[in-house]
Amino acid sequence: MQLVIVESPTKSKTISKFLGKGYIVKASFGHVRDLPKRELGIDIENNFKPKYVIPLKAKKVIAELKKDSAKSDNTILATDEDREGESIAWHLQEALKLKNPQRIVFHEITKPAIEKALESPRHIDMNLVDAQQARRILDRIVGYKLSPFLWKKIAKGLSAGRVQSVALRLIVEREREIEKFIPVEYWNVSALLKKNEKEFEAGLVKKDGKAIDKLEIKNKDEADKILQDLNNADYIVESVEKKETKRNPAPPFTTSTLQQATSQRFGWPAKMTMSIAQKLYEEGHITYHRTDSLNLSEMSLTEAENFIVKKYGKDYWAGKAVKYVTKSKGAQEAHEAIRPAYADKTPESLKGIDPRQLKLYTLIWQRFIASQMAPAIFDSVLADIKAENYTFRANGQALKFHGFLKVYPTKFEEKDLPDLENNNELNLVKLDSLQHFTEPPARYNEASLIKTLEKYGIGRPSTYAPIISTIQDRNYVGKNEQKRFVPSEMGTIVNDVLVKNFPEIVDVGFTAKMEEELDEVAEGKNTWEKICKDFYNPFAKDLEKKYKEVEKSDLTQKTDKICPKCGSPIIERMGRFGRFYACSKFPECKHTESIDDKNKDLGIKCPKCKEGDIVARKTKKGKIFYGCNKFPKCDFAAWDKPINEFCPKCDSILTQKGKKIKCNNKECDFVK
């Protein structure tokens, strides 16, 4: 009997289906050893030797796996194929005291993939383990050494992270760009023209044969001068360019592009996307979902070709296997892009699957199949139209051949122009000018933040979701109604302290260089001990120096309120979750009150007690909800924003989220 150990019970069930009676498949339920929770757990003086412990929740699992291993002829470690999976395999070997376990890896949980992996087992790759160990130790050092500094100099309960702090810096700096932004006025001039009763629009692009810059027409007077110049002008077609243009399909998904696509299309957080993808992988529907590679197996390319030709016809296939090149540094080319395990397993063929899993599978399947399809073809027309010494331009586009768009719909605009030829005279229907202002840079959303992290080489596929979750859990950033990141006051303060005093820790280039050094460890070109030493020695000296130099931030503000318990003045303090009122005699007097800002008062009487007012509040994690200001006397609360209207069905108050208005009574189904 051979024992196969994987991380999750779902994965173990799927693999069990493909193996015969000679195998037993068990789950470790994730990590089985880690650094201790309440101490640094790293012997700095002894070459950064980590102290690993078995968490309480894993002790029972380890005991059972030890019994299973003792009864087995051989133990096979089949954890995920990335560094974290390799690390879990090594920790299993150490915790179970396995002498010579076999290690197998696979990109997909299918019968051929499992059988092929079993034919060529290997030893645990200690280079990958060391790279993951170095990351864990560096993160622990920063977290355990820098967080107490923030407690002493700002407020208790704060945390700093090696990579998360860089992400926070990006968000804070973007917010400051927006605050400093001064909009610039500019104007566009356009003409609505007509030929043979068919109207179309053309935009002004040139004057005296020279291109007009976007910001060149600065105000209404300049725009009006152009309109005056064109008074009674003739509009003559100067040139017409007709050509066929192609739009190529996008590559299959990597972790980063999948998280970006689900954020843009479905509004899903990266953490949610990865959780759903994990289930799809463990159930054998898709390949491994933590990857930065665009590589595709020869078998998958052949399967895609056969499916496309059979389903859509030979014209829809690209004509050859399309192979994509990964541009990111340190990408694991031995890995594959995210794709369906079977090309011919259409979304319609999956029955009884969770709706969100089906939604994600459909997106992955469409993207992969489309990546092997022919380009979409458009008939494009570009017409330049002369009017006095000005040139207008009209663009037309019509879809000629769907190609990959048959499978992976993407937005495009069709513009139908009349049949234009050189020297055609056109009728002017309307000449117009429109005022615009330049826009500030957009705040980051999940998609754009992940794209930026990837661009600068910050983090790796498995870290994007935890980075984003962590800075929100710490209440350093929140999301506005457009689901874009806005730094909290505390997040801004923490960032400023770190940037001023530990610029290297939050430097984009320095953090990217650390990732490259971790890649070198994974490739056997560097040692984890050297990386930790090179980082720690200057960091420790700098930290010791900053403890002496940096004064504690005074984040308190005086108020005219008096403490109801001891009669001392009330002051406004800054805490981990924002500002609050507190007695100035703390810790002798521990009286505190929440701050209900006037701008948070919705001007709506509480529908429950009829006495209090509805105000916006925050949970400890920074999530906004709405409640009565008479709390705890009245416990009315709602997640969606109440409006001053009542339900026609049950007379409860109505709430609004976006354009959707519904009843706050959970037992009432009223929606409009």
- Range list of β-strands (E), 48-148: 49-50, 74-77, 102-103
Annotation marks residue 324 as catalytic: no
249, 410 contact by CB (below 8 A): no
SS3 of 363-417: the string is HHHHHHHHHCECCEEEEEEEEEEEECCEEEEEEEEEEEECHHHHCCCCCCCCECC
CA terminus-to-terminus distance, the chain: 61
3-state secondary structure of 505: coil
Distance of CA 207 to the CA centre of its chain: 44
Question: What size, in residues, is the chain?
Answer: 672
The alpha carbons of the chain give a radius of gyration, in whole angstroms, of 31
Q: What are phi and psi of 152, to 5 degrees?
A: -75, -35
Please give the Cα distance from 112 to 18 (Å, whole number): 9
Residues 6 or more apart whose CB falls under 8 angstroms from that of 660 comprise 671
> Which DSSP symbol is given to 624?
E
Structure tokens belonging to residue 214: 């976007």
Residues 6 or more apart whose CB falls under 8 angstroms from that of 183 comprise 437, 438, 439, 440
Structure tokens belonging to residue 13: 């069930």
CA-CA distances (angstroms) from residue 501 to 149, 496, 549? 11, 8, 10
Please give the Cα distance from 672 to 669 (Å, whole number): 10
> Which DSSP symbol is given to 316?
G
Block residue for tokens 């999976």: 85
CA proximity to 455, closest of 261, 174, 167, 247: 167
Q: What are phi and psi of 247, to 5 degrees?
A: -120, 120
CA proximity to 106, closest of 15, 1, 8: 15
CA-CA distances (angstroms) from residue 550 to 116, 152, 476, 543, 556? 59, 10, 21, 10, 17
> Which DSSP symbol is given to 152?
H
CA-CA distances (angstroms) from residue 655 to 529, 617, 661? 56, 15, 6
Select which of 235, 288, 408, 464 is catalytic.
288
Please give the Cα distance from 442 to 462 (Å, whole number): 26
* Helical ranges in 425-526 per DSSP H: 446-455, 464-473, 489-501, 508-522
Block residue for tokens 């491994």: 288
Residues 6 or more apart whose CB falls under 8 angstroms from that of 481 comprise none
3-state secondary structure of 485: strand
Q: What are the residues facing 642 on neighbouring strands?
A: 655
3-state secondary structure of 38: coil
Neighbours of 412 (CB within 10 A): 11
> Which DSSP symbol is given to 108?
B
User: Active-site residues: which are they?
Assistant: 288
